[in-house]
Amino acid sequence: MKFKKLIPHEIKITPLANESLLVKIGCAMLVYGKNDMKQMLKDLQEYLDDPKEVEQEYRKVCSSEPDSNYRRGLSENQYKAQAGLGGIAVR
């Protein structure tokens, strides 16, 4: 077994009442629907492989202004495409 560097943030996965999952990594939260589980696993693996790279990409997409994506009126699919993430970012 080859050990890699430790990931910088706690990962917490919480089931929701509508069969979705809330994935919290540090202060970032993503919601995956019941049909998005493969994408969730892919995204988590990408994060585990290179957390710094994923965090840099996340910061590029998400501005420092709270709720800016909702204020810009992005739909769920537009946000997912822009973020390159399978989940929906929640702030």
pLDDT, tens only, 8-47: 889 999 999 888 999 998 888 889 998 999 999 999 999 9
In whole angstroms, how far apart are CA 38 and each of 33, 41, 48, 66, 73? 10, 5, 15, 29, 27
Mean pLDDT in the chain? 75
Q: Is 49 helix (H, G, I), strand (E, B) or coil?
A: helix
CA dist., res. 55 & res. 52, Å (int): 5
What pLDDT, on a 0 to 100 scale, did the predictor assign at position 61? 74
What pTM was computed for the model? Answer: 0.62
66/46: higher pLDDT: 46
What pLDDT, on a 0 to 100 scale, did the predictor assign at position 63? 55
